[in-house]
């Protein structure tokens, strides 16, 4: 039986809030802080490695990505 809020739960319910997928340089405005999910996986990684780590971890699977457009639509 899985514990509520275990590591898998956190992984499945933490999202990367990218400012832009089309223009990755825009995410640099916040030092790639928007790569939140991969940051939780590897907290000691520097900000400039986060996009590459995200790609290595998730590839084209975007289930854990919420873009700025997604967030604006929800408002």
pLDDT in tens, 55-69: 998 888 888 888 888
Residue 5 has pLDDT above 80, yes or no: no
Structure tokens at 54: 């995200």
Q: Which residues, in sequence order, are CB contacts of 17 under 8 Å at separation 6+?
A: 34, 36, 66, 67, 68, 71
pTM attached to this predicted model:
0.73
What's the pLDDT score for residue 3?
66
Domain extent listing, the chain:
7-74
10 Å Cβ neighbour count for 46?
8
Name the one residue in this structure whose structure tokens are 């990367």: 16
Measured CA distances, 21 to 2, 3, 39, 46 (Å): 34, 34, 17, 20
């Amino acid at each position: 039986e899985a514990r509520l809020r275990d590591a898998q739960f956190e992984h499945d319910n933490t999202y990367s809030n990218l400012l832009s997928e089309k223009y990755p340089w825009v995410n640099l405005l916040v030092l790639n802080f928007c790569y939140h999910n991969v940051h939780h996986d590897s907290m000691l990684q520097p900000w400039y490695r986060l996009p590459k780590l995200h790609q290595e971890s998730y590839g084209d699977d975007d289930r854990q990505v919420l873009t700025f457009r997604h967030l604006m639509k929800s408002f």
